[in-house]
Amino acid sequence: MPDIVTTERDGAVGVVRMNRADKHNAFNRELTRGVLDAIDAFDADDAVHVVVLTGTDVAFSAGADMAEAVETMDAAGRSEGMGAALARIARFRKPLIACINGIAYGGGALLAITCDIRVASETAAFRFPGAAYGLVVGGAQLPRIVGPAVAKELLFTARVVRAEEALRIGLVNAVAPSASVFDEAMAMARLIGANSLPALIATKETVDRATEADEGHRTEATHNAGLRQSTEHHERFKAAAARVAKGGAGGKP
């Protein structure tokens, strides 16, 4: 069996590749652990100045593993699922580029917008389905990227955003053909990696503070703590999980 997460080094650039293609790189406990370990290792390595995070096959990430989430829901309410990976990535000190090679839905879309820069394939697609599932997903981060009015539209409607529109509204920094999207992300990463690591860390912290979202994160977390335990969320999420299961490996949340 291939490793569920692989890492590599290219000079000052680290690469983290999610490798659960049969499940559209949906986050189960094993993938969460693998991403956490990879991010921790690159954060501690001063020879790495920038990291590229990407997926395999047709997906960047479909978010949380719905089957595992339903099991948790039935056992003891709804857990945070991939929340540990998202929280760790939000604390990553160095520049982080999301190379979005395909679909980024739900938690996968949140993972993408938690990164600093997004380079998308022409086949990339985003969806923030929190409202459809009875949750808030991306309400703290998305307004910083696309502005509050567009963020509300995407969050309220839970519609799919294709690559061309994502570029137009500023959701991604660049769009490239599928065959060359990773090369495009790596070229940008090498430009970043040639610069001073202390200056990159300080610059990232400064920009993040200038576009402060801490209160939004607290509000989102507070709402979701209650919403995850609600009957409506459980019913909506289980219905969505059933639709995905019916579609087999190709099902999309």
Q: Is the pLDDT of residue 2 over 80?
A: no
Per-residue pLDDT band at 75 (split at 50, 70, 90): low
- For 12-168, where are the alpha helices, taking DSSP H only? 29-44, 66-76, 83-90, 107-114, 130-133, 142-146, 148-157, 163-168
Q: What tens digit of pLDDT does each residue of 148-182 get?
A: 999 999 999 999 999 999 999 999 999 999 999 99
Residue 240, pLDDT score? 65
Instruction: Kindly state the average pLDDT of the residues 195-211.
Output: 94
Residue of 25, 36, 51 whose CA lies nearest to 83: 36
Residue ranges per structural domain of the chain: 5-179+209-250
Query: Using CA atoms, how far apart are residues 99 and 105, in angstroms rounded to an integer?
Result: 14
Per-residue pLDDT band at 210 (split at 50, 70, 90): confident
pTM assigned to the model? 0.85
Q: Calculate the average pLDDT of the chain.
A: 88
Residue 135, pLDDT score? 83
Structure tokens at 231: 């009957």
Query: Using CA atoms, how far apart are residues 172 and 125, in angstroms rounded to an integer?
Result: 11
Residue percentage of the chain with pLDDT more than 70: 81
Per-residue pLDDT band at 66 (split at 50, 70, 90): confident
Considering the domain delimited by 5-179+209-250, tell me its CATH architecture. Alpha-Beta Complex (3.90)
Q: Is the pLDDT of residue 253 over 70?
A: no
Residue of 241, 246, 243, 252 whose CA lies nearest to 73: 241
Instruction: Give the CB-side neighbour count of residue 1, counting CA atoms within 13 A.
Output: 7
